[in-house]
């Protein structure tokens, strides 16, 4: 014991600490002779965090340091292909936990279980270093907000930040202090299942949302009991997997990497994100987990990132399957040298790093750097002051599933809905919003009464069948008569996170009932789309039309009643060209989470005026993918002469999308006019104000997302035909007009140029403002040398 106190004294003395050690040693927990528990109840930080980290690191053996770099799942696994949890494996994990060889755990469970594992390391390991507890809190914990792609459709940064804040409050009440979110991967391919988890195709919008979500999760004080550490993932390029196939190869240019893929990650760093996760894919032939250029040169080098990097599930071990490492030991060596600080479920750091250091293949300084980063986050979370701070059963009971949480997710769900089409039928009024009295309504679709699918993928611990269904939401409006028919079964068997969904393509049972129900009804609401588990990790699709027999059902119902409102539930853009041509009203309702049905009903009845805009382009057919608004011009962009083929086009499809990025309607209408520039010539370091008048020309209050796009006409590398550089969500009363102003400056106009640096090049620019990426109101200006 005397030796231990001498080590503490000597360490703290050497780093400049000379205060009374007795104050530092006060604790409410039982003290063992060789433990760091004296830190836990020190309510006032006697040392700056970096010095506290160094003082702990100085006490650790090499084996204990490596233990901090080891992350295991709890005793059940949900997010990766691991061996079955045998009793022997469980026993091994528990033994390592007691030996201080685990620095973090994920998927542990509720407050009670988390407290148990925390207590084990605090009271039974030599140093008592607390665990950081991770979980995939992607769009909520037990009470779910819309999937992230849907939230991005709100273009409402304040609401998105609040949604992450709400998720953090609920998750932290259950003992979680680290989320593996936000996913900030830009993707242009709707076939990829994980588009549901990101913010869409645009780096500017994606960067703003990344910043908002990090701030929402982490709050202003990471040591508070209702904030959690965020994780920017997947670094980098995961959204560009070839053919949209999960875990596939990525091969992109340097220009795409810097100008499209990197910006949201840089925004997350700017927001102070505490952790990064690397990705499954390779980049330039090197798996991201072992990619020194990404992790050491860019992230920890040029960006000066001070947090830590965690591997994705078993991705260190997967470098063997990639053909980049000959075995697990070499994979561990490559990963730690590349800058991957924590091993999630590969078992390779804990099994190999000590030997690699002793063999001289890995410098212990790399281990120290990784552990220092991990310990710092634990200190910032306040876990050394109180390892049980997130483990309050009373708080869990009061907060999880509370009315306040439900109110917040309902608000987010309404803001996420996009009105794609709303036309009149036979000269009558537009189909939406619906009248609240006197209508006979046929509600058709298995998804209309489904309480499971609307939760979406990555649903954390939300109970099955806990969403409000569309049927339930509509039934809260009692003035109309609703008849519900399933119409067709979407899939066979049960749907869950880990197994394939088997779509029904043969059984038409229910068609006849649905068609009969649709006859002589004032309105038919058809709720069609994807099951919530048709998107997410491992859920790539080659066809993005309505799955199964739903398209056939839609066409058959249309034959007997054209007054159809199509409500789409999906986690990716769908190809619905037929519906756009035939169906008078279409609502994009995504997978909206726990309050889905209430949000959809309030929009259908006009109690909420939809204001969402698409964060991803909707193609006419899957053959157009990847399709995105900020594409390049090419050398042959237009038809030279009638009936000639030598230009950039398809022979069997139009070039333009079905619905462009930024598109979305309202129950009111807006008019843009008087686009003005404060200057028409500026220097490279100057700024220019762009203003426009927006008028609500309709008869009800509404919100419009005003969007500003630019084009750099000639540059050292070809630039996109348009780039989003500003947006603002504006609420206007009927008849009201407002002037909206944007500033374009050096940051707005710069790009990663042919000189391999960020710069503004002199030349001519165009600027557009409008309600989508196809805005027509434009002006021009010139940047001078």
State the Rg of the chain over Cα: 28
Give helix then strand counts, H and E, for the chain: 24, 28
Residue ranges of alpha helices (H) inside 563-629 are 577-582, 596-604
Quick one: which H or E segment has residue 376?
A: helix 364-381
CA distance 610 to 600: 10
**DSSP per residue over 91-113, as a string?**
HHHHHHHHTT--SEEES--SHHH
For 658-721, list the strands marked E by DSSP. 670-677, 681-683, 688-696, 702-712
Q: Of the listed 136, 185, 189, 312, which one is catalytic?
A: 312
C-alpha separations of 147 from 43, 76, 160, 514 in Å: 38, 24, 11, 30
Residues 6+ positions from 6 with CB-CB distance below 8 Å? none
Q: Encoding tokens for residue 553?
A: 């059902």
Quick one: which H or E segment has residue 741?
A: strand 737-744
Q: HSE (CB half, 13 Å, CA atoms) of 317?
A: 15
- Residue 352 contacts residue 329 (beta carbons within 8 Å): yes
Q: Encoding tokens for residue 610?
A: 């939809």
Q: Encoding tokens for residue 353?
A: 């790093």
Kindly report the backbone phi and psi dihedral angles of residue 350, in degrees, each rounded to the nearest multiple of 5, phi listed first. -65, -25
CB atoms inside a 10 Å sphere around CB 316: 31
CA distance 343 to 65: 13
Q: Encoding tokens for residue 577?
A: 């060209």
CB atoms inside a 10 Å sphere around CB 427: 5
Has 312 been annotated as catalytic?
yes
C-alpha separations of 669 from 173, 601, 617, 658, 771 in Å: 43, 21, 22, 21, 11
Residue carrying structure tokens 């067709």: 488
For 537-637, list the strands marked E by DSSP. 564-569, 585-588
- Residue 235 contacts residue 314 (beta carbons within 8 Å): no
Exposed e or buried b per residue across 40-66, where buried means at least 16 C-beta atoms within 10 angstroms of its C-beta = bebeeeebeeebbbbbbbebbeeebbb
Residue carrying structure tokens 């803001």: 415
Residue carrying structure tokens 């979500």: 213
CA distance 241 to 192: 8
Q: Encoding tokens for residue 503?
A: 């779509």
Catalytic residue numbers? 312
């Amino acid at each position: 014991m005397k030796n231990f106190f001498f080590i503490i004294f000597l360490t703290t003395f050497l780093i400049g600490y000379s205060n009374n050690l007795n104050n530092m040693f006060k604790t409410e927990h039982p003290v063992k002779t060789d433990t760091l528990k004296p830190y836990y109840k020190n309510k006032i930080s006697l040392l700056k965090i970096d010095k506290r980290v160094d003082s702990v690191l100085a006490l650790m053996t090499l084996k204990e340091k490596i233990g901090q770099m080891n992350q295991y799942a709890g005793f059940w696994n949900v997010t990766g292909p691991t061996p079955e949890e045998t009793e022997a494996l469980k026993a091994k994990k528990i033994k390592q936990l007691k030996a201080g060889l685990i620095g973090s755990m994920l998927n542990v469970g509720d407050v009670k279980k988390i407290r148990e594992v925390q207590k084990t390391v605090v009271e039974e390991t030599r140093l008592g270093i607390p665990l950081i507890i991770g979980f995939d809190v992607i769009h909520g914990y037990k009470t779910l907000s819309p999937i992230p792609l849907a939230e991005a459709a709100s273009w409402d940064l304040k609401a998105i930040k609040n949604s992450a804040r709400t998720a953090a409050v609920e998750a932290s009440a259950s003992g979680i202090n680290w989320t593996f979110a936000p996913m900030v991967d830009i993707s242009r391919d709707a076939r990829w299942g994980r588009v549901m988890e990101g913010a869409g195709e645009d780096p500017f919008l994606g960067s703003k949302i990344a910043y908002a979500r990090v701030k929402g999760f982490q709050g202003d004080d990471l040591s508070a009991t209702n904030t959690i550490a965020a994780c920017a993932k997947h670094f980098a390029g995961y959204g560009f997997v070839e053919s949209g196939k999960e875990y596939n190869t990525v091969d992109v240019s340097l220009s795409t990497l810097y100008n499209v893929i990197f910006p949201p990650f840089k925004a997350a760093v700017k927001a102070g994100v505490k952790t990064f996760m690397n990705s499954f894919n390779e980049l330039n032939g090197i798996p991201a987990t072992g990619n020194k250029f990404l992790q050491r040169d860019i992230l920890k080098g040029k960006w000066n990132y001070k947090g830590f990097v965690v591997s994705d599930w078993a991705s260190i071990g997967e470098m063997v399957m990639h053909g980049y490492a000959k075995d697990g030991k070499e994979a561990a060596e490559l990963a730690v040298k590349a800058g991957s600080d924590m091993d999630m479920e590969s078992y390779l750091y804990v099994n190999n790093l000590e030997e690699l250091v002793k063999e001289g293949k890995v410098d212990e300084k790399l281990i120290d750097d990784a552990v220092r980063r991990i310990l710092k986050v634990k200190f910032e979370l306040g876990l050394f002051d109180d390892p049980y701070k997130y483990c309050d059963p009373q708080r869990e009971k009061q907060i999880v599933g509370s009315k306040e949480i439900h109110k917040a997710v309902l608000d987010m769900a309404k803001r996420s809905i996009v009105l794609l089409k709303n036309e009149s039928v036979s000269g009558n009024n537009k189909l939406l919003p619906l009248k609240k009295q006197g209508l006979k309504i046929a509600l058709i679709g298995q998804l209309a009464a489904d309480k499971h699918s609307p939760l979406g993928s990555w649903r954390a611990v939300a109970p099955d069948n806990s969403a409000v269904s569309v049927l339930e939401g509509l039934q809260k409006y009692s003035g109309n008569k609703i008849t519900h028919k399933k119409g067709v079964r979407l899939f066979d068997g049960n749907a869950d996170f880990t197994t394939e969904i088997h779509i029904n393509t043969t059984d038409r049972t229910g068609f006849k009932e649905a068609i009969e129900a649709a006859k002589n009804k004032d309105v038919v609401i058809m709720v069609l789309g994807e099951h919530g588990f048709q998107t997410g990790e491992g859920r790539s699709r080659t066809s993005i039309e309505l799955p199964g027999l739903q398209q056939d059902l839609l066409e058959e119902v249309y034959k007997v009643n054209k007054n159809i409102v199509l409500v789409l539930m999906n986690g990716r853009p769908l190809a619905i060209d037929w519906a756009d041509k035939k169906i008078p009203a279409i609502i994009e309702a995504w997978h909206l989470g726990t309050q889905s049905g209430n949000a959809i009903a309030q929009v259908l009845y006009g109690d909420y005026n939809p204001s969402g805009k698409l964060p991803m382009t909707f193609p006419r057919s899957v053959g157009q993918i990847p399709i995105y608004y900020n594409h390049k011009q090419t050398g042959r962009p237009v038809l030279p002469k009638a009936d000639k083929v030598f230009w950039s086009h398809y022979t069997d499809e139009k070039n333009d999308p079905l619905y462009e990025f930024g598109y979305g309607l309202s129950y009111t209408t807006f008019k843009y006019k008087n686009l003005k520039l404060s200057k028409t010539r500026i220097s490279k370091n100057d700024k220019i104000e762009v203003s426009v008048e927006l008028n609500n020309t309709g008869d009800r209050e509404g919100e419009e997302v005003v969007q500003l796009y630019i084009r750099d006409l000639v540059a050292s590398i070809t630039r996109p035909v348009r780039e989003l550089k500003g947006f603002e969500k504006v609420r206007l009363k009927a008849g009201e007009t407002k002037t909206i102003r944007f500033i374009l400056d050096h940051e707005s106009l710069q790009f990663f140029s042919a000189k391999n640096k960020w710069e503004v090049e002199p030349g001519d620019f165009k600027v557009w403002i409008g309600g989508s990426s196809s805005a027509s109101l434009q002006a021009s200006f010139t940047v001078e040398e």
